[in-house]
Structure 1
Amino acid sequence: MNKKNLFLVMGILLISIILSLFILKGKIARIIDDHKVVLEVNGEQVTKREYKIRFNTLKENAIQFSSRTDILDQVFNGKTYRELLKDELFTILTEELLCLQEARRRNINLTKQEEEEIKKYIQELKANEEMRGYFNQYLRKIGSDENHFYRDLYKTRIINKLYSSITSKTTVSDSEIVNYYNTNKNQFKKRKIMDIFLKVENEEEDARKREIANKIVSELKKGENFEKLVKKYSEDDSASITKGIIDYFRKGEKEAEYGSVFEEEVFKLAVGQISNVIKTVKGYHIVKVLDEKYMPLDEVKEEIQSKLMKQKKDEVFRLYIENLKKSSKINVYKDRIKDL
């Protein structure tokens, strides 16, 4: 090899070494950064990597729930949603550590069967190729892995067992149930309505159906019979049998079928009143409230008992956690997560 080629090879080798060192330096810096302590609770630490995984989880949930990729930059009460999430996560992680510490003190552990249930759940997530792809993609997106996912589920089950232990003596009396029923009767109101429905299957139909709906409202205001217009216009497949009548339902029971806007409008009306045009995902509705009634206490007693029991248990557990906080040493290092 001549001197010129030797210098060329040595130059390439030197550049490769420099690039490798640069990449290695970056990896080492990331590892060091990931191991920074961002939270300490009674001597137990949460690293930045753990915080990042949980933050990414909250972030993805917020984006999915709001359907807005810019949700983290929105301002609420003077703070961006990003900052609110960071603050909330410190609270979540603090309370989680306190619960796990208390569970250890009480010798609360998972049985072998409970551990196997977690493993089985993960295996079911990976049962077919498509689901496995979504699962792995989700883990990569939040910076996690399967072992970390297992540990999170494990911790959740432990905390649930602690919750059950702390709240096991909580009771709800009959008088509390009666009082709740009497002061919240609107929750148990049912409406019977007659509905004129115009189906919209594509954008081209929308304007035409909206025009027909407005025409129907005009006819009703002039005194036209509602039932007659049901027969004339309604496109509900069962309209010919039910005469447009949707039998008694309470708020929440028709949300999956018609949407929350439909129910909100229906329950705003008085008996005998006719709505304006209501737009839903399926089309346009004009409804008339025929009757209303309240569900009897006996019918909703178990529902109320379950609701009050959860409320009371949650409050007992919340107060328990607050007392743990008061007797604990908690250090938060917010400056170490500024870049998230």
Structure 2
Amino acid sequence: MNKKSLILITGIIFVSIILSLFILKDHIVKMIDDNKVVLEVNGDQITKREYKIRFNTLKENAIQFSSRTDILDQVFNGKTYRELLKDELFRILIEELLCLQEARRKNIYLTRQEEEEIRKYIEELKRNMEMRNYFNQYLRKIGSDENHFYRDLQKTRIINKLYKYVTERITLSDSEVIKYYNSNKSQFRKIKVMDIFLRVENAEEDAQKRKVANEIISELKRGEDFEKLVKKYSEVESLDGKKGIIDYFRKGEKEAQYGSVFEEEVFKLAVGQISNVIKTVNGYHIVKVIDEKYMPFDEVKGEIQTKLIKQKKDEVFKSYIESLKKMSKINIYKDRVKDL
């Protein structure tokens, strides 16, 4: 090997070493940053990596729920949604650590069967190839892995067992159930409506259908019969064949079909009243309430019992957690997550 070749090879090796050091340096810097402690509760610590995984989970949920990629930058009550999420996450993690510490003190652990149930659940997620790919993609997106996901499920089940232990003696009297029913009759109201529906298939149709909806409102103000306008304009048949009739439904039952805005507007109306134009994802509605009825006590008794017993248990458990907080030493290092 001549001297020129030796110099060239030495140079290549040197450059490779320098690049490796830069890559290694970035890896070390990231590893140090990930292992910074961002929260301490009675000596137990949460690292920045753990916090980041949970924050990414909340962030993805917020984006999906709102259908807005810019949701974190929106301002609510003087704070960006990003900052509100961070504050909420610190609260969640503090309470989780307190619960896990309390569970240890009370010897509350998962049984082998419960551990196996978690493993089987994860295996079920991975059984279908499409689902497995989505699962792995989601874990990568939030910066997590299967082991971390498994540990999070463990923690959740342990906390659930503590919740059951703390609240198992909570009871509910019949008088409480009856009182709730009598004081909240509106929750058990069902209405029957006539609906003039103008379907909007695309953006081009929107202005045209909105114009038609306003014309219908004008006709109604001039005294035109609502049922006649239903037959003339409405673009949907009900299940029983009567055009525009939506049979008795309770608030919440039509949200998936028509949206929450539709329900909010129609449940404001008394029998005989007509709504303004209601815009939904599928088009425009003008609704008249033609009848109402209230669900009898016996029909909703079980529902009320389930709701009230959960409320009472949640209140007891919340007070229990608050008492633990008062006795605990908690250190929060917000400045260490300001780049998230």
Instruction: Give me the TM-score of the superposition, normalised by structure 2.
Output: 0.93
| Greater displacement, 256-265 / 199-208 | 199-208
Contact conserved, 1:231 with 1:239, CA < 8 A, in 2? Answer: no
Instruction: Determine the C-alpha separation between the residues in 2 that align with 1:219 and 1:74.
Output: 41
Instruction: Determine the C-alpha separation between the residues in 1 that align with 2:69 and 2:240.
Output: 45
Secondary structure class of the residue paired with 2:213: helix
1:239 positional shift? 7.8
Name 1:326's counterpart in structure 2.
326
Secondary structure class of the residue paired with 2:40: strand
Q: How many residues get paired?
A: 340
Instruction: Determine the C-alpha separation between the residues in 1 that align with 2:141 and 2:155.
Output: 21
The 3 A distance-change label for structure 1 pair 195 and 82 is closer
The 3 A distance-change label for structure 1 pair 241 and 167 is same
1:243 positional shift? 4.2
Code of the aligned partner of 2:162: L
Q: Does 1:300 align with 2:300?
A: yes
Code of the aligned partner of 1:112: R
Gaps of 5+ in 1: none
Code of the aligned partner of 1:38: V
Name 2:35's counterpart in structure 1.
35
1:334 positional shift? 2.2
1:259-315 CA distances to partner (integer Å, 9 max, x unpaired)? 112112211222111222222222222221112222222222211111111111111
Structure 1 segment 243-262 matched on structure 2, within 5 A: 243-262=243-262
1:205 positional shift? 3.5
Contact conserved, 1:57 with 1:142, CA < 8 A, in 2? Answer: yes
Code of the aligned partner of 1:254: K
Code of the aligned partner of 2:109: N
1:189-222 CA distances to partner (integer Å, 9 max, x unpaired)? 1211112223333334333333333333222222
Structure 1 segment 141-152 matched on structure 2, within 5 A: 141-152=141-152
Secondary structure class of the residue paired with 2:241: helix
Identity of aligned residues (%): 80
Contact conserved, 2:35 with 2:48, CA < 8 A, in 1? Answer: yes
Structure 1 segment 269-280 matched on structure 2, within 5 A: 269-280=269-280
Name 1:207's counterpart in structure 2.
207
Name 1:310's counterpart in structure 2.
310
Q: CA RMSD in A?
A: 1.9
Name 1:67's counterpart in structure 2.
67
1:22-80 CA distances to partner (integer Å, 9 max, x unpaired)? 21122122212222222222222222211111111112112222222222222222322
Structure 1 segment 140-289 matched on structure 2, within 5 A: 140-238=140-238, 241-289=241-289
Instruction: Determine the C-alpha separation between the residues in 2 that align with 1:235 and 1:189.
Output: 27
Instruction: Give me the TM-score of the superposition, normalised by structure 1.
Output: 0.93
Structure 1 segment 4-15 matched on structure 2, within 5 A: 4-15=4-15
Contact conserved, 1:125 with 1:132, CA < 8 A, in 2? Answer: yes
Instruction: Determine the C-alpha separation between the residues in 1 that align with 2:247 and 2:334.
Output: 55
1:313-337 CA distances to partner (integer Å, 9 max, x unpaired)? 1110011111111222222222322
Instruction: Determine the C-alpha separation between the residues in 1 that align with 2:213 and 2:84.
Output: 44
Code of the aligned partner of 2:159: I
Secondary structure class of the residue paired with 2:127: coil
1:181 positional shift? 1.9
Name 1:88's counterpart in structure 2.
88
Contact conserved, 1:230 with 1:239, CA < 8 A, in 2? Answer: no
Contact conserved, 2:234 with 2:243, CA < 8 A, in 1? Answer: no
